[in-house]
């Protein structure tokens, strides 16, 4: 098995400080959380940005401020910007952080009910984002909330818009989307081509069991406040680092080494 790549989704776009007092919002807070996650073994930081009022933002400037603060903190992890943004943002808005030419970005390959909202990713939006990633030299990670999203991702490969190595993130347990079951995870893994990198992001209390499964199955794991704020039932995590550290401990018991950012870059095909 390859070394385990841990992604820390430290903030997300939907949560507020009211929901989660430890949520990092300002660039300084984001950098501190990124540093804690890095110190515990995260090789990838999945990043959203906020504006000065703490609202979700896809502006290149807001991303740049957080990225500069993260680098100043000493965290050398791969920074994966979001092109999902927040529900309701336009496709043009969502392209914002790509103009910074980051090495890695999410690419959502289908629409999905998202709680009471609908996260819209029409074929035109998907292809537009894939083309923008080519234009700015950014490697995508496909965000998969439903099985059909895998087929949409493979259509982009067929069109020549995304090249191997392919990287998938299975997000399981969003209310309204694919259920967070072992059977669904195995099914999705069997649906993608062999020798393809995959990560699982389990939502809420499903983060830990699905992450544990991925460790033993040879996949990678995403944890963090964007997906789950609890360390255990009723106990809120005080830092993303706690969630990363637990996965790193499980990996150690499983005899699986943790990938450094440099090793993760090679596995994920970044900077190629």
Binding site for ligand KMH (CB under 6 A): 12-14, 82-84, 86-87, 106, 108, 114, 119, 143
Phi and psi at residue 44, in whole multiples of 5°?
-130, 135
Residue 230 pairs in a beta bridge with 236
Nearest-CB residue for Zn ion: 82
| Residue 66 touching Zn ion (CB under 5 A) | no
Q: How far is the CB of 186 from ligand KMH (least distance, A)?
A: 23
Given ligand KMH, Zn ion, none, residue 203, with its beta carbon under 5 to 8 Å by kind, binds none
Residue 45 pairs in a beta bridge with 8, 79
**CB-nearer residue toward ligand KMH: 165 or 176:** 176
Binding mask 73-112 for Zn ion (x = CB under 5 A): ---------x------------------------------
Q: How far is the CB of 255 from ligand KMH (least distance, A)?
A: 31
Q: How far is the CB of 13 from ligand KMH (least distance, A)?
A: 4
Given ligand KMH, Zn ion, none, residue 66, with its beta carbon under 5 to 8 Å by kind, binds none
Q: Which long-range contacts (CB under 8 A, 24 or more apart) does 177-184 make?
A: 177/112, 177/113, 177/114, 177/145, 177/146, 178/145, 178/146, 178/147, 180/206, 180/210, 182/209, 182/210, 182/213
**CB-nearer residue toward Zn ion: 65 or 250:** 65
Nearest-CB residue for ligand KMH: 84
- Least Cα distance to 170 among 198, 205, 193 occurs for 198
CA dist 69 → 32, 62, 101 (Å): 9, 11, 17
Given ligand KMH, Zn ion, none, residue 33, with its beta carbon under 5 to 8 Å by kind, binds none
Q: How far is the CB of 132 from ligand KMH (least distance, A)?
A: 14
Q: Are 187 and 208 in contact (CB under 8 A)?
A: no
**CB-nearer residue toward ligand KMH: 56 or 241:** 56
Binding mask 211-250 for Zn ion (x = CB under 5 A): ----------------------------------------
Q: How far is the CB of 180 from ligand KMH (least distance, A)?
A: 16
List residues near Zn ion by CB under 5 A.
82
């Amino acid at each position: 098995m390859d070394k385990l790549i841990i992604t820390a989704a430290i903030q997300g776009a939907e949560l507020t400080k009211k929901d989660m007092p430890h949520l990092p919002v300002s660039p300084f807070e984001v950098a501190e959380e990124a540093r804690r996650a890095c110190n515990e073994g995260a090789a990838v930081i999945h990043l959203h940005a906020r504006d000065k009022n703490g609202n979700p933002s896809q502006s290149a400037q807001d991303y740049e401020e957080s990225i500069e603060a993260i680098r100043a903190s000493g965290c050398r992890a791969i920074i994966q910007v979001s092109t999902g943004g927040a529900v309701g943002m336009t496709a043009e808005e969502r392209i914002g952080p790509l103009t910074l030419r980051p090495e890695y970005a999410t690419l959502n390959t289908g629409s999905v009910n998202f709680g009471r909202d609908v996260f819209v990713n029409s074929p035109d939006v998907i292809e537009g984002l894939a083309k923008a990633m080519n234009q700015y030299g950014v490697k995508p990670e496909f965000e998969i909330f439903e099985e059909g999203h895998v087929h949409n991702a493979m259509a982009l490969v067929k069109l020549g818009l995304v090249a191997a190595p392919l990287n998938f993130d299975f997000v399981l347990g969003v209310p309204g989307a694919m259920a967070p079951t072992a059977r669904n995870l195995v099914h999705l893994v069997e649906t993608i081509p062999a020798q393809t990198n995959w990560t699982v992001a389990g939502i809420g209390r499903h983060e830990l069991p699905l992450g544990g499964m991925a460790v033993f199955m040879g996949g990678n794991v995403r944890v963090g406040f964007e997906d789950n704020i609890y360390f255990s039932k009723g106990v809120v995590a005080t830092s993303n680092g706690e969630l990363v550290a637990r996965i790193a401990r499980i990996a150690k018991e499983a005899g699986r080494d943790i990938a450094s950012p440099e090793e993760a870059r090679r596995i994920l095909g970044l900077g190629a």
